[in-house]
């Protein structure tokens, strides 16, 4: 229990990492690299990250579904799927709000691509996982809480 606790706390100090599992062709790596958004990815809080993404006051949307565990089995690799059924979705960003650097990844969709991404993110502590979707020049958002716990002591 105690060793794990330390690992969890150590994780909290680390930055969010990105492990991308997007079907080939949906994302152009060179383009993504070229579009590296330093101010957004290095932002230390959600507000600054949003600012870096050029997003202000996104509207809550029920057309965004976030599939993630209620309690993470392993904070180092938390599976997250985001589906946006908003017409004309052009990008999806994922933020783990309480990570030291909340912005985990941004994904640009080529025209007509289904608004779906699946990835694994690192989370230091219990937090909202937020998706921010751009579509038709507007931004939308939804969030789901994922709990990161020390474990043990159950049952």
Partner 1 sequence: MHMNRREFLQLLAVAAASGMALDSKSALAGKAPANFYDVPRHGNVSFMHFTDCHAQLMPVWFREPNVNLGIGSANGKAPHLVGRHLLKKFGIKPGSAEAHAFTYLDFTEAAKVYGKVGGFAHLKTLVDKIRAQRPGALLLDGGDTWQGSATSLWTNAQDMVDACIALGVNIMTPHWESTFGAERVMEIVNGDFKKAGIDFVAQNVVTNDFGDQVFKPYVMKEMNGVKVAIIGQAFPYTPIANPRWMVPDWSFGIRDDGMQKWVDDARANGAKVVIVLSHNGMDVDLKMAGRVTGIDAIFGGHTHDGVPQPVKIRNAKGVTLVTNAGSNGKFLGVMDFDVRGGKIQSYQYRLLPVFSNLLPADPAMDALITKVRAPYEDKLSEKLAVTDDFLYRRGNFNGTWDQLLVDALMEVKGADAAFSPGFRWGTTLLPGDAITMERLMDQTAITYPQTTLTEMTGETIKSIMEDVADNLFNTDPYYQQGGDMVRVGGIEYTINPTKKIGQRISNMTLKGKPVDANTVYKVAGWAPVGEGAQGEPVWDVVAAYLRDKKVIKGLKLNEPRIVGIGKSNLGIADYRGGLS
Q: Does position 37 bind partner 1 by CB under 8 A?
A: no
* Residues constituting the chain: 155
4 is a contact residue toward partner 1 (CB under 8 A):
yes
Residue appearing with tokens 């809550």: 60
Total of chain residues touching partner 1, rule CB under 8 A: 24
7 binds partner 1 (CB under 8 A): yes
Beta carbon nearer to partner 1, 42 or 145: 145
Residue 142 is given by DSSP the state: E
Nearer to partner 1, 8 or 50 (CB): 8
What are the residues whose beta carbons fall under 8 Å from the beta carbon of 77, sequence distance 6 or more?
A: 19, 120, 121, 122
Residue 3 interacting with partner 1 (CB under 8 A): yes
| Residue ranges in 69-108 that form contacts with partner 1 under rule CB under 8 A | 69-74, 79
59-60 and 78-84 strand pairing: unpaired
Give, in order, the Cα–Cα distances in Å from 5 to each of 10, 130, 149.
9, 25, 8
Q: Which stretch binds partner 1 (CB under 8 A): 26-34, 40-48, 51-59, 142-150?
A: 142-150
* 63/141 Cα distance (integer angstroms): 9
Contact segment (CB under 8 A) with partner 1 among 1-9, 45-53, 96-104, 128-136 equals: 1-9
CB of 5 or CB of 28, closer to partner 1? 5
Shorter beta-carbon distance to partner 1: residue 79 or 88: 79
Separation CA 125–CA 23 (nearest Å): 29
* Biggest alpha carbon–alpha carbon distance for the chain: 50
Binding site for partner 1 (CB under 8 A): 1-5, 7, 67, 69-74, 79, 126, 145, 147, 149-155
């Amino acid at each position: 229990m105690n060793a794990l606790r330390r690992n969890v706390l150590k994780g909290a100090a680390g930055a969010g990492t990105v492990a991308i599992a997007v079907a080939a062709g949906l994302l152009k790596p060179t383009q993504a690299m070229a579009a590296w958004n330093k101010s957004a990815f290095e932002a230390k809080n959600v507000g600054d990250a949003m600012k870096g993404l050029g997003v202000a006051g996104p509207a809550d949307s029920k057309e965004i579904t976030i599939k993630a565990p209620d309690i993470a089995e392993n904070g180092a690799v938390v599976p997250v799927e985001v589906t946006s059924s908003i017409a004309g979705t052009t990008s999806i960003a994922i933020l783990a709000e309480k990570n030291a650097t909340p912005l985990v990844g941004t994904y640009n969709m080529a025209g007509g691509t289904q608004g779906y991404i699946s990835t694994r993110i690192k989370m230091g502590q219990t937090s909202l996982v937020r998706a921010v979707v751009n579509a038709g020049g507007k931004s939308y958002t939804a969030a789901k809480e994922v709990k990161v716990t020390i474990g043990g002591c159950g049952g």
